[in-house]
Amino acid sequence: GINSLIQAAKARARGYRNKNKMITIVYLTAAKLQLPTLTNPTPAYMTSR
């Protein structure tokens, strides 16, 4: 239920000092969004030109 989602979000949000950031994590967890992943994990400054 929603309680378990909030508990999971709290576990993810450990270390955040701001209550609003924790609430944002709760919303992101509860929404079950498909967030995009990085297509190129190598930073641009590490690639040769």
Taking the complete model, does pTM exceed 0.85, yes or no? no
Tens digit of pLDDT for each residue in 1-49? Answer: 778 877 877 787 677 778 888 788 778 777 877 777 777 677 777 777 6
Q: Are the beta carbons of 1 and 8 closer than 8 angstroms?
A: no
The per-residue b/e assignment along 12-35, b for 16 or more CB within 10 angstroms, e otherwise, is: ebeeeeeeeebeebbeebeeeeee
**Residue 37 has what pLDDT?**
78
